[in-house]
Amino acid sequence: MPQVTLTVNGQTHTAEVEGRTLLVELLRETLRLTGTHVGCDTSQCGACVVHINGESVKSCTTLAVMADGATVTTIEGLAKADGTLHPMQEAFREYHALQCGFCTPGMVMSAIDLVQKHPDGLTEQEIREGLEGNLCRCTGYHNIVKAIAAAADVMHGKRTEIASAAQ
Amino acid sequence: MNVVAPFEGIGASVRRKEDFRFLQGRGAYTDDFNRQGQLHAWILRSPHAHARIKSVDISAAKAMPGVVAVFTGADMVKDGLGGLPCGWQIHNKDGSPMAEPLHPVIAHEKVRHVGDQVAVAIAETREQARDAAEAIVVDYDVLPAAVSMEAALKPGAPAVHDDVPSNLCYDWHIGDKSVLDAAFAQAHKIVSLDLVNNRLIPNAMEPRAALGEFDRTSGDYTLHTTSQNPHVIRLLMAANVLHLPESKVRVVAPDVGGGFGSKIYHYAEEAIVTWSAGKLGRPVKWTADRSESFMSDAHGRDHVSNAQLALDANGKILGLKVHTYANMGAYLSTFAPCVPTYLYATLLAGTYTTPVIYCEVKAVFTNTVPVDAYRGAGRPEATFLLERLMDVAARETGIDRVELRRRNFIPNDAFPYQTPVALQYDSGNYTATLDQALATADWAGFEARRAEAAKRGKLRGIGCSTYLEACGIAPSAVVGSLGARAGLYEVGTIRVHPTGSVTVLTGAHSHGQGHETTFAQLVTDKLGVPGAQVDIVHGDTAKVPFGMGTYGSRSLAVGGSAMMKAMDKIIAKGKRIAAHLMEASVDDIEFERGIFRVAGTDKTKALVDISVAAYVPHNYPIDEIEPGLEETAFYDPKNFTYPGGCHIAEVEIDPETGKVSMVNFTAVDDVGRVINPMIVEGQVQGGIAQGIGQALLEACVYDADGQLLSGSMMDYTMPRADDLAPVSVATHTTLCTHNPLGVKGCGEVGAIGSPPAVINAVVDALRDFNLRTLDMPATPSKIWGIINAGRQQAAE
């Protein structure tokens, strides 16, 4: 069986995998990082999104062997060691951008990459279009869109902390 | 420094406690659990809509690497397992009970829909189980399928169940037809409309999963499952399927990734993993692929109706007559029979003073996935019918559509209001929610926006619905008389610990609703305990005494009321302890937000003083009061609750593509008292997204052979962020008069009120095309077809 070595959330792991093993299976079953979810089997829902070398990728559509030598960040690797949440996590909480929490890890990972790819800021429409690869059945997306805009302001240095939601 | 803690009681938008774990990947969903020695199950599903199983050859599969067992329906029959039970019995017009054919856990002799369970392969890994399932050889004798309701009811149609040759599950009615006929004879105008309420696939983001365990030492079974109601699953599975004492079965519904109704029901896979864990002595886990969810989760809606409204010369409604065909699918899912009857026909008065209503419902078996409650369940179907009918009636009488609604509203001084279809509404103010919504949406200024859009070549339309729903289900005696095989109370335990922190055990279940936050707010408000010291425990039959679960917007109205009742008991006991400690009469003890006070004095004891005394009863009236501070209450609601309101949709259509874009959406809902405005707004927004999905995007499609064409997320259009526009959500409160919180429920209003508002807006945008009926979803191809046909007609 092929062997893969990869760095996940700062820790280096080596594992033997089947050729058909998906990255999400390696993360969830071998490394027991169950924050990354599987919501579909057609690469539509985005619940499985992680970062590979800083870019968002659907880990259900990535073979584990393709991540050999890569640096992977999952939802578990976002908060600081002292428990401080990433601005995107903080914004999702402030704006009630999650309900059941199942799509949330992938949504947050996609949103961070989306903001990083738009250093000049994003319009509401750009955020909505940027979420094309992530499905949420609970929220209707409105609060997710607001949260991403609020997090972008902090990630781009326009504000030092997440703007309070209206309520 | 004097730090004032933020108010965390009723009415505060407290940020959610559960978010910390969900946002850091620390949620614990069923598929996240793995057990020592765990095996994996893969279900082989029928590729045919209807076939006789001539033989199932499992020999090759059993010889595959890692395979531990392969079971078929015959193994279950041999073990004497029961079928999956139905929780509601409807009676026909003639008083006879509905047809209730056996629902085998694994199909035996016949398969009845694509996706029906045929066998289960169990192996060391999921991949091995899947490979083994593919090696099972089934010899099918493929039969003609009854796919549409129309086809299923034709004489000589293939019988889904041999013992139900007509495919008719029941033929039910409500109302007095002779009184209705008399009303129709007086009518100035009768408006008739044919409607289809499109079949939907719920698609909660977490696919269903189940993990069964058997403890050889104790003989106890444990099932972790993606359920909205673990106690109900335990009851149904233990008593009806596995024939085990409930005391030997524990069911845990941990974090659950959305439900929307689809995770209420007792599914085959739950019984399969529990039963096989016992047979094999090892844990057995099954997790659905999304493709399996599409063909094994209960679907929603699927009604075909004709509705007729009789009006007098002033536009007052004289009567309503409805005929509905409701698809049950191949088997009766747990609550399926009540959806098109007592959650549908009883809602046909809506917000109007319709004096007489007659509704006839024929429920039909077809070779499709079972259909059951999906967000709103029956009430969206009733609302869509009624609110479309009102718009058509307005057009055909020439009365303005808002004015027609106003003329027929139940007036504010008419509550409690008895409808002709069984329900008695306790409170509401339909004019207020309408007026507020009209103002927010700038209804009066719409024609200017329509004209502006026309200059850009766009067709703009506006539509409203003034809806009502019944939720907070339900009074046990009432539902019992209507055929429910269960009570619908809820259970709450308040456990005040020695140091004053509180654990709440609730039979309600949170799968996105934020109960851990909202329910803690109730405790903070009433007992004065800060939210950080309140823990909400739910979803485990080993911890929570009992519970009927979460659906029908009942968690707060029924479950919250149980907690309030239990807290009243805590306060009553606390007063007796406080009276002893402060040497006062119990009648003189007052309690407010955590402080017991001797009336008219400055003598006080905090809740923690009482809890310490209760658990360390050194100075304690031990002969009169038991130690400890824990109380349980069962709350059975006195009535349904009746949220209502007004939804207004504004759309723009691109006539070149037929694409309908949401421009504005306004909701003003009366959900009773609001505990957490942030969470209520989120619930309404999510419901509206599902309603817009139904109106514009989503359709479950079968071909004539019963193959599911919309069987993946590439084929079934789930709403995405760029399909939706910002939504304005507001509340206008009238209190529920019969529960201690005055709450009505907010989980379903969005999905109930919005579809007719959207379709009325689309029809309004297309007013030049003389459109009378428009079935959902209003897809670009459908709309373009209408526009194109209209243009061709105009050209001729």
Q: Which of B267, B15, B51 is nearest to B144 (CA)?
A: B51
> Does the beta carbon of B26 lie under 8 angstroms from any beta carbon of chain A?
yes
Averaged pLDDT, B30-46: 98
Q: State which amino acid sits at residue B769.
A: F
User: Which strands make up the sheet holding B39-45, listed edge to edge?
Assistant: B67-72, B117-123, B39-45, B284-287, B209-215, B220-225, B249-252
Please report, rounded to a whole number, the percentage of residues in chain B having pLDDT higher than 70. Answer: 99
Per residue in B220-229, pLDDT (tens digit) is: 999 999 999 9
Cα distance between residue B749 and residue B437, in whole Å = 15
Q: Do B682 and A143 touch (CB under 8 A)?
A: yes
Question: What does the buried/exposed string (b/e) look like for A151-165 if buried means 16 or more CB atoms within 10 Å of the residue's CB?
Answer: bbbbbbeeeeebbeb
The band of B423, judged by pLDDT with boundaries at 50, 70 and 90, is very high
Distances (CA, A) of B582 to B361, B499, B605: 64, 19, 8
Q: What is the mean pLDDT of residues B279-285?
A: 98
Cβ-based contacts of A165 with chain B (< 8 Å): 13, 678
Q: Which of residues 652-681 of B touch A (CB under 8 A)?
A: 677-679, 681
pLDDT of residue B772: 87
pLDDT higher than threshold 70 for residue B5: no
Q: Do A108 and B679 touch (CB under 8 A)?
A: no
C-alpha to C-alpha distance for B579 and B635, rounded to whole angstroms: 28
Together in a domain, B403 and B339 = yes
pLDDT at B726: 87
Burial B740-750 (b: 16+ CB within 10 A, else e): bbbbbbbbbbb
DSSP B355: S
What span, in angstroms and rounded, lies between the C-alpha atoms of B299 and B200? 6
Shared domain check, B222 and B178: no
Q: Is residue B785 part of a domain?
A: no
pLDDT confidence of residue B796: 83
Residues of chain A contacting residue B21, judged by C-beta atoms under 8 Å apart: 101
Select the residue of A36, A101, A124 nearest B22 (Cβ to Cβ). Answer: A101
B19: contact with A, CB 8 A cutoff = yes
CATH at residue B585: 3.30.365.10
Contact B29 A34 (CB under 8 A): yes
Contact (Cβ atoms closer than 8 angstroms) between residue B684 and residue B729 = yes
**Could you tell me what percent of chain B has a pLDDT over 90?**
97
Whichever domain contains B121, its CATH number is 3.90.1170.50
> Are B690 and A29 a contacting pair at CB < 8 A?
no
Same structural domain, B264 and B380: no
Pairing of strands B51-57, B110-111: antiparallel
The answer to whether A137 contacts B32, with C-beta atoms less than 8 Å apart, is no
B455 within some domain? no
Is there a domain that residue B517 lies in?
yes
The half-sphere exposure of B570 on its side-chain side, counting CA atoms within 13 A, is 34
pLDDT score of A167: 65
In a shared domain, residues B530 and B593: yes
Report the candidate in A77, A60, A78 with the shortest Cα–Cα distance to residue A135: A60
Q: Could you tell me if B63 and B69 are in contact, meaning their C-beta atoms sit under 8 angstroms apart? A: no
Q: Among B409, B436, B460, give the residue marking a domain's end.
A: B409
For residue range A84-108, what is the model confidence (pLDDT) as tens digits? Answer: 999 999 999 999 999 999 999 999 9
Are A93 and B13 in contact (CB < 8 Å)? Answer: no
* B528 and B597 fall within a common domain: yes
CB–CB of B738/B676 below 8 Å? Answer: no
- Look at residues B221, B228, B252 and name the one whose alpha carbon lies nearest to residue B542: B252
Across the interface, do A93 and B25 touch by the CB < 8 Å criterion?
no
pLDDT of residue B770: 85
Task: List all residues of chain A from 97 to 156 with a beta carbon under 8 Å from chain B.
Answer: 98-105, 108, 124-125, 127-129, 131-132, 134-145
Task: Mutate one of B22, B260, B680, B688 to test the A interface: name it (highest A CB count within 10 A).
Answer: B22
Number of domains in chain B: 3
Beta bridge partners of B648: B464, B666
ipTM for the complex? 0.98
Helices (H), B693-748: none
DSSP code at position A29 = I
Query: Would residue B404 count as lying in a domain?
Result: yes
- The beta-strand segments (E) located in B644-754 are 644-653, 660-670, 727-731
Residues B605 and B542 in one domain: yes
Q: Same domain, yes or no, for B220 and B101?
A: yes
Which A residues in the span 50-69 are in contact with B, Cβ-Cβ below 8 Å?
none
Mean pLDDT (whole number) for B543-558:
95
CA-based nearest residue to A107, from A122, A90, A89, A95 = A89
Mean model confidence pLDDT for chain A: 96
Residues B83, B119 share a domain: yes
Structural contact between residues B501 and B533, judged by C-beta atoms closer than 8 angstroms: yes
DSSP code, position B409: B
Q: How far apart are CA A103 and CA B22, in angstroms?
A: 10
d(Cα B369, Cα B536) in Å, to the nearest integer?
35
pLDDT at residue B2 is higher than 50: no
B204–A100 C-beta distance less than 8 A: yes
For residue A39, pLDDT beyond 90 = yes
Per residue in B645-677, pLDDT tens? 999 999 999 999 999 999 999 999 999 999 999
Mean pLDDT value of segment B73-83: 96
B150 in any annotated domain = yes
Final residue in a domain of this structure, among B264, B287, B310: B287
- Do residues B307 and B239 both lie within one domain? no
Q: What is the pLDDT of residues B452-504, one digit of tens each?
A: 999 999 999 999 999 999 999 999 999 998 999 999 999 999 999 999 999 99
CB within 8 Å: A78 and B714: no
Please say if the pLDDT value at position B748 is more than 90. yes
Residues 6 or more apart from B51 whose CB is under 8 A from it? Answer: B110, B111, B140, B141, B142, B143
Last residue of a domain, one of B387, B409, B431: B409
Q: Are residues B219 and B360 in the same domain?
A: no
Are residues A85 and B16, on separate chains, in Cβ contact within 8 Å? Answer: no
Please report how the helices B749-765 and B379-397 are oriented relative to each other, as an axis angle in degrees rounded to 10: 30
Residue whose structure tokens are 């105009």: B794
Q: B16, A141: Cβ pair inside 8 Å?
A: no
- Point out the residue among A33, A105, A135 whose CB comes nearest to the CB of B720: A135
> Which pLDDT does position B1 carry in this prediction?
40
B555 touches chain A (CB under 8 A): no
**Sorting pLDDT into bands at 50, 70 and 90, what band is B169?**
very high
Of A118, A117, A113, A111, the C-alpha closest to A145 is A111
Q: What integer is the mean pLDDT of A10-31?
A: 96
Domain boundaries, position B330:
144-197+299-409
Tell which B residues from 726 to 755 touch A, by Cβ distance under 8 Å: 726-727, 750
pTM, 2 dp: 0.97
B273's CB contacts (< 8 A; 6+ apart) are: B41, B210, B211, B212, B223, B284, B285, B286
Question: Does residue B445 lie within any of the structural domains?
Answer: no
Would you call B748 helix, strand, or coil by DSSP?
Answer: coil
B722·A131 Cβ contact <8 A: yes
Q: Which residues contact A12 (CB under 8 A, 6 or more apart)?
A: A5, A6
B783 lies in some domain: no
Residue B4: pLDDT band with limits 50, 70, 90: low
Sign of the Cα pseudo-torsion (B583, B585, B586, B589, in order): negative
Q: How far apart are CA B430 and CA A140, in angstroms?
A: 26
**Which whole number is the average pLDDT over B129-152?**
98
The dihedral of CA A60, B227, B261, B503: what is its sign? negative
Structural domain contains residue B603: yes
Q: How many alpha carbons lie under 13 Å from residue A38 in its C-beta half-sphere?
A: 26
Q: Calculate how close chain B gets to A30, using CA atoms only, in Å.
A: 11
> Does one domain contain both B58 and B106?
yes
Nearest chain B Cα distance for residue A157, angstroms: 22
CA distance B501 to chain A (A): 24
User: Where are the strands (E) in B2-90, listed by range?
Assistant: 39-45, 51-57, 67-72
Residues of chain B with Cβ-Cβ distance to A44 below 8 Å are: 712-714, 718
User: Helix (H, G, I), strand (E, B), or coil: what is residue B295?
Assistant: helix
B78, B193: one domain: no
Whether B764 has a pLDDT exceeding 70, the answer reads yes
List the domains of chain A with CATH numbers.
Answer: 3-77 (3.10.20.30), 87-155 (1.10.150.120)
| Residues B692-740 pLDDT 10s | 999 999 999 999 999 999 999 999 999 999 999 889 999 999 999 999 9
Q: Which amino acid is at B291?
A: S
